[in-house]
Structure 1
Amino acid sequence: MGVLSELRALLRLSGFRKLFAVRLVSQAGDGMFQVGLASLLFFSPESQGSAAGIAGAFAVMLAPFTVVGPFAGVLLDRWRRRQVLVWGNAVRLVVTLAMGTVMLSVGGGSAWVIVLGLAALSVNRFLLAGLSAGLPRVVDGPLLLTANSLTPTLGAGAAFVGGGVGFVLSLALPEGRVHDASALLCAAVVFGAASLLALRLAPDQLGPEHPARGDLRGELAAVVRNLAGGARYLAARRTPGQALMAMAAHRFLYGIVFIASILIARNLLTSPGDTAAGLATFGLVIGMTGVGGAGAVLLTPTLSRYTGPQVWIALMLLLAAASQVLLMTTPERAVVLTGAALLGLAAQGAKIAVDTVVQRDTHDDVRGRAFAFYDVLYNAAFVGAAALAAFAVPDTGWSRELFGVLAAAYVVAAVLLWTRGARVPADVSPTLAVPGAGTDESRREKESTPSQGIPQPDQT
């Protein structure tokens, strides 16, 4: 009830209502677009049902989040964010219409579809960052925390609903080019609506108040240096660096299982080329993964108090190993769905604990760079998984040897973190994250900040 009352208080703010409407409509279009793209790249008769084809398409979809993400903030501090929302959605409208036109005229196998899809996903990365950056301009005080908690969650819900609408619409149409393009054409209409909704905001309402005017090339280079500095600090601090390495290993192995799941849903659990059935089966796998993730949200805050976050991460890695042992038995539907739920629980449980360690053990002066590096590592691990999956995963998606190797890798990561992982962060000066601060002299410029106020494991 408290959350509902705070949401009502937020909706009384005119600026928040307008920005919130843009988010909901824009992310509903995202859901439609992603369903259309996944249907085309992974499940349509024209897509390549091989591991290499699926992995390549998957890497293309993830590349913008890995490459564009770290640099979005630099441009959002230069451009009016309201204009980013207006023109970004307008660009997505044009690009998505172009994709639909290509699919209707020459089919989904054209390389132009991939290029246009990559462009649309890259613009989407800017839009998501712009929505978050503009939020403090329309909400302030205690409600900002509530707004930061609710808007991404409700936006993800809008994306889920949009994806469901796109999927249901595609079921109503006969197989063919119109079927493949339907979700994309609907997404284009929704993007246009989001662009028009953004016009209700004043041009300067979302900031920046003082747009950056410095050398753009120098600022982009500084992003790279700051990422490297954040990585250097996290490694020296030990606990957050080790937690991130565990998450990267988990994300890498999970990515291989994810691609194997697409292939199993497409080539084993349904008839290859049956777009609707394959997409529905994979949607069920993702749904069970979400059920496991929801369980982690309930269990992790309670049980990790008794283990500490590092041990909890190791336990989640062992649970992920158990899910792979289960998948070794048979590729039957019930086994695949159960394995997905267990892996979802392990993945989300580990991520919650990793987030806690990075937030808790990173100095506030470095926290922004630390999470920027976290974001890059999180997505890059998935792209790396796609590269390996192209060679390691069979075209059917299921291999007893593959899942055995994945289970063993999870066990090794768990044992290393449990037995060799640090429990207490090292005293490291935040100046270590400053570019050029890697020498002993520069490290002595500022005394290390003591770890005061850091919760003990039973308080986390």
Structure 2
Amino acid sequence: MLARLTSQLGDGMFQVGLASLFFFSATTSPAGVTAGQVAAAFAVMLLPFTLVGPWAGVFLDRWRRRQVLLVGNVVRLGLAVALTAVMASAGVNLAVYVLALTALSVNRLLLSAFSASLPHVVPRSHLLTANALVPTLGSIAAGLGGAVGLVTRFALPEGAAQDAGALACAAVAFGLAALAATWFVPDALGPDVFRSRDELRSELARTGRDLVAGARYLVARRTPAEGLTVVLVTRFAYGTVFIAWLLACRNLLTDSSDVDGGAARFGAVLAATGVGFALAVVLTPTLSRRTGPQRWIVGCLGLGTVAQVLVAVHLSLVTIVVAALLLGLAAQGAKIAVDTIVQRDTDDAFRGRAFALYDVLYNAGFVGAAALAAAALPDDGDAPVVMWALAALYAAGALVLGRWGTREPVEVPTPA
């Protein structure tokens, strides 16, 4: 818990630092940002790891996951320090994009490692509660980190220091997360079968076949594959509306030159999303135990439909904030259930690959959303036709999963 919360606290600070740099910096975008610029920024940050991510799972099934958490946070600490130094001295250049891309890629690997490690520290009978508590508190920690980043931004003078302040705070959080990881013994978080460095080298050539085998296993089990499909669809829908809201806060609800006003309004949207996450941690364990995780996901998709209809009918700061709360509850509630399904129904020999593929689909959904945003969203983010289409997507997902979704996994042989 401590390792994850400090790590995700740093995530929030880091992400606000990047948002300040790319979207709410008077020096880089004084006249506002376009839908294409926002979409390109997200695509550049997420597409490479979407392509590389599946390979990470093979290593999570072979490397000590405790070492991944330790080394990964140390690497992020160094990258955050380097980004802070570059921003303070040279401003935005190619090095900033490369460092940011690398740090975000490491973050996705760490979140996979946290998810794959959870069954090693929580009894199987308590996984649902743990998945409601730990990832959701992690998301809340990220929200608090974002709030700290925003306060840091407003407290610092305009310019490079304002853009780099949150990144410097993130470096401290990453260092604390690395320290927390050292309190585990090296083998505490799995994998159950450890392979030596020499064995790992000899198996690199088998990576592609291992990934294919992992994907086939998940499809054969049915329930994990259905859960991952839900992640892809909901991430695509949420990513599209997220970009629309960012554009609206930056260009529609405030004057395009008022970057601090736009950042404050978007901060309110993120805060409402965090409240939705908090509600998910309270409601999901109780309600999903009665309905089962699949039916709970159906309910979350229905809630997403309502949220999308709200902003499709009328776009204002009030409707965006309310919809953000509802979508936060829906997205996090569905994620808790999917996490539980994948952990519960996936053998440990495939679990690392399962969560790496999970993260790839998570990112791929947002990359697809970025492509849609670039093509279909106006620069002010007000696109009722797109919002109605996303409402229909949520509704269709609820109908398909509720009518044809698998309730119990199919028995599949696993390696000895």
Residues 328-385 of structure 1: CA deviation (Å, up to 9, x unaligned): 1221111111111222222223223333444455556655544443333233222222
Alpha carbons of structure 1 residues 356 and 32: separation in structure 2 relative to 1, 3 Å: closer
- Which ranges in structure 1 are unaligned for 5 or more consecutive residues? 1-6, 8-19, 435-445, 447-460
Normalising by structure 2, report the TM-score.
0.79
Question: Contact 1:82 / 1:206 at 8 angstroms: preserved in 2?
Answer: no
Residue in structure 2 matched with residue 231 of structure 1 by the alignment = 215
Q: Which amino acid aligns with 2:234?
A: H
Residue in structure 1 matched with residue 262 of structure 2 by the alignment = 278
Q: How does 1:164-179 map to 2 (within 5 A)?
A: 164-179=147-162
Q: Are residue 31 (structure 1) and residue 12 (structure 2) matched?
A: yes
Residue in structure 1 matched with residue 317 of structure 2 by the alignment = 333
Q: Are residue 44 (structure 1) and residue 41 (structure 2) matched?
A: no
Q: Are residue 386 (structure 1) and residue 386 (structure 2) matched?
A: no
Q: Which amino acid aligns with 1:114?
A: Y
Alpha carbons of structure 1 residues 221 and 383: separation in structure 2 relative to 1, 3 Å: farther
Q: Which has the larger radius of gyration?
A: 1
Partner SS, residue 313 of structure 2: coil
Range 317-326 or range 152-161, more displaced: 152-161
Alpha carbons of structure 1 residues 169 and 297: separation in structure 2 relative to 1, 3 Å: closer
Residue in structure 1 matched with residue 230 of structure 2 by the alignment = 246
In the TM superposition, residue 40 of structure 1 has moved relative to its aligned partner by 0.8
Match of 1:401 among 385, 388, 392: 385
In the TM superposition, residue 114 of structure 1 has moved relative to its aligned partner by 1.0
Question: Contact 2:113 / 2:352 at 8 angstroms: preserved in 1?
Answer: no
Q: How does 1:300-449 map to 2 (within 5 A)?
A: 300-305=284-289, 307-362=291-346, 366-425=350-409, 427-431=410-414
Residue in structure 2 matched with residue 450 of structure 1 by the alignment = none
Whole-Å separation in 2 of the counterparts to 1:148 and 1:303? 14
Residue in structure 2 matched with residue 259 of structure 1 by the alignment = 243
Larger RCO, structure (CA 8 Å, separation 6 or more): 2
Whole-Å separation in 2 of the counterparts to 1:220 and 1:123? 20
Normalising by structure 1, report the TM-score.
0.73
Whole-Å separation in 1 of the counterparts to 2:201 and 2:170? 34
How many residue pairs align between the two structures? 408
Whole-Å separation in 2 of the counterparts to 1:150 and 1:416? 28
Structure with greater helix percent: 2
Alpha carbons of structure 1 residues 220 and 387: separation in structure 2 relative to 1, 3 Å: farther
Q: How does 1:63-142 map to 2 (within 5 A)?
A: 63=47, 66=50, 67-68=52-53, 70-71=55-56, 74=59, 85=70, 91-108=75-92, 110-125=93-108
Partner SS, residue 98 of structure 1: helix
Alpha carbons of structure 1 residues 430 and 320: separation in structure 2 relative to 1, 3 Å: same
Q: Are residue 185 (structure 1) and residue 168 (structure 2) matched?
A: yes
Question: Contact 1:392 / 1:402 at 8 angstroms: preserved in 2?
Answer: yes
- Which ranges in structure 2 are unaligned for 5 or more consecutive residues? none
Q: Which amino acid aligns with 1:85?
A: L
In the TM superposition, residue 289 of structure 1 has moved relative to its aligned partner by 1.9
Question: Contact 2:220 / 2:412 at 8 angstroms: preserved in 1?
Answer: no
Whole-Å separation in 2 of the counterparts to 1:398 and 1:50? 13
Whole-Å separation in 2 of the counterparts to 1:420 and 1:55? 34
Range 150-159 or range 49-58, more displaced: 150-159
Question: Contact 2:297 / 2:334 at 8 angstroms: preserved in 1?
Answer: yes
Residues 284-305 of structure 1: CA deviation (Å, up to 9, x unaligned): 1122122223333333344445
Percent identity, aligned pairs only, is 54
In the TM superposition, residue 402 of structure 1 has moved relative to its aligned partner by 0.9
Whole-Å separation in 1 of the counterparts to 2:399 and 2:132? 34
Q: Which amino acid aligns with 2:160?
A: R
Q: Which amino acid aligns with 1:113?
A: V
Q: Which amino acid aligns with 2:375?
A: F
Q: Which amino acid aligns with 2:253?
A: L
Alpha carbons of structure 1 residues 225 and 386: separation in structure 2 relative to 1, 3 Å: farther
In the TM superposition, residue 125 of structure 1 has moved relative to its aligned partner by 4.6
Whole-Å separation in 2 of the counterparts to 1:235 and 1:320? 26
Alpha carbons of structure 1 residues 271 and 28: separation in structure 2 relative to 1, 3 Å: same
Alpha carbons of structure 1 residues 176 and 346: separation in structure 2 relative to 1, 3 Å: same
Residues 158-189 of structure 1: CA deviation (Å, up to 9, x unaligned): 54444333321221223222221222234345
Question: Contact 1:104 / 1:178 at 8 angstroms: preserved in 2?
Answer: yes
Question: Contact 1:227 / 1:370 at 8 angstroms: preserved in 2?
Answer: no
Q: Which amino acid aligns with 1:172?
A: A
Q: Which amino acid aligns with 1:429?
A: V
